[in-house]
Structure formats: C-alpha cells, structure tokens
Amino acid sequence: MQKNSFLPHFFGSLAILVLFSSCFHGIKVESAAVYSQHLRKSINLTILQTPTPENKDSFNLLLVNDGQDIEQFRLRPIMDSLHTKQLLKPLLVVAINAYDRLQQYGVVGYPDYKHNGTEDGAYAAFVVDELIPYIQRKSGVQHFHSITLAGCSLGGLSAFDIAWDHANLIDKVGVFSGSFWYRDKDDADSSYRDDRDRVIINKIRASANKPHLKYWFYAGGNEETADRDKDGIIDVIDDTKDLMDLIKSKNICPPDDVCYTQVRNGTHDYASWSHILPRFLLWADGK
C-alpha cells in the first residue's frame, strides 16, 4: 500500500480519525481509526474511560485484543458497574479490533505448523511503537500508573507474548483461556511431544528475559475435551498450568504475582469470559 502524502507525521506512523464519542453512564466511550505503518492498514479502536482525575498520571491503561468483540465481552457495562460502585482506579481502556486473528496473533518469530502468525511481529510493533504513543498523545498522559495487556484465546496468547517481550512498557498481562497449545508440529504426528513442540513453552524456557510483570490467567473446566497426555485434565488447563510453573521456576517475580482462576464449568466463550471479567478488572485496576 502506498503511503498517503496527507497523513500526519507525528511519531512517523499514525493517521487518526475520530469517528464518534458518547457516554455509557459514567463511562466515556469513543471510537477511532488509527493508520499503522507497521501493518499498512487502518486499525479500529474502541476507547473507554472513567472520568478524568485531577492528576492524569493516575490513569491506568488497559489494552484489549479482539476489540471487535467487546459487546460480547460486556466490557462497557461491567466497567460501568465497577466504576459506579467506586471499585476502579481511574482507567482508560483501548480495545483493538482484529483484522485477521490467525495471522496477527501468535508468538513473534515462531509460526505454528500451519504457518499462521505471519503478521504477529508487525502487530506487536504496532502496539508498542505506534499505539501506546498515540494513546499518550491523545489522552495527554505521558506516564500511566500501570499498563496492562489482555486477551482471550489466541488474543490471550498474543497478549502474553507481547507483554513478555516488552515488560519495559507493560506492567501486567491478563489471559483468558490462552491458546498455549500453539505448536510447531501437528499433535496427530507420532513424533509430537509436549515438552518440545508447544511454541510459547519453548520460547519462555529458552528466554534470557526476566520481565517484571504481574500475570493473571483463567481457564474453564468445560472448555474442551482434548487431553493430549491422557491425564484426565483438559489441555487448556494443563497448558496454562505448565506455563505458570515455568514462569515460577525462572524466579522472575514473587509467586503471588502469578494469579490463576479456574471455573469448574467454564466454557470457551464470552459467556464465561465476561463472567470472570470483573474479577480480572479488580485484579488489574481495582482500588
């Protein structure tokens, strides 16, 4: 795509079109479209915020993958309810619409066995190099009190991977039913092994990084029936616990900074994720 000559050149990468703004009770809601040079396309955002505090630097920032699904996630009414009950710190939420989940979400530098994740590096660069500076400029907040990145399923894998690589900018990560099964070999292959073919496990095991992050994970007991190792525990729970154990074994944070919630009857859908969302918001941004 040829770069349009009329685009603004602040940060050298963004063109911004504010589409509309409104209020959802005490929560201000606004939509924007942001042009990314890294992705060479316009990315739609939904921006939600509690009332502006006297000290803008007390704002917390929450970035959410799969922003096109925030209605199903019930982000606005849940955020509004917690704000009305005075349970939230000043909070700015930016929900990022996906354009091609299979290609933009993954583990940077490590495609899966189906060659998905071809744009995950460009997406990570967009979040770090373009989106966060844009939010700082638009909001007038140069130093957020904390920055959290969150996502569900494949968007959760992406959130974890980006946060791990950019802990200099991101403080916390929240993962709902993360796709930590993401693998470089089909598990139907007789040579597949959990200890070497799960991409994120291999990356974190080999990583020399010691990111000072706080980690929040969720998994539901009825998300699937798959059980690769035949231990009676479904894979989404096994994969999440294996990743948490690996994080703890690297001694990169206090054990209490790794938080896990499991719901016995939880399913792999927004009905379950929205049910647990208030608990996550209180963990990340509660008073």
Inside any domain, residue 46: yes
User: What is the tens place of the pLDDT at every residue in 119-178?
Assistant: 999 999 999 999 999 999 999 999 999 999 999 999 999 999 999 999 999 999 999 999
Inside any domain, residue 1: no
Inside any domain, residue 265: yes
Inside any domain, residue 127: yes
Inside any domain, residue 99: yes
Q: What is the CATH number of the domain that holds 182?
A: 3.40.50.1820
Q: Which domain holds residue 66?
A: 10-285
User: What is the tens place of the pLDDT at every residue in 16-55?
Assistant: 333 333 444 589 999 999 999 999 999 999 999 999 999 9
User: What is the tens place of the pLDDT at every residue in 91-112?
Assistant: 999 999 999 999 999 999 999 9
CA distance 208 to 18: 41
Inside any domain, residue 4: no
Inside any domain, residue 2: no
- For the chain, the domain total comes to 1
Q: Is the pTM of this model over 0.85?
A: yes
Inside any domain, residue 232: yes
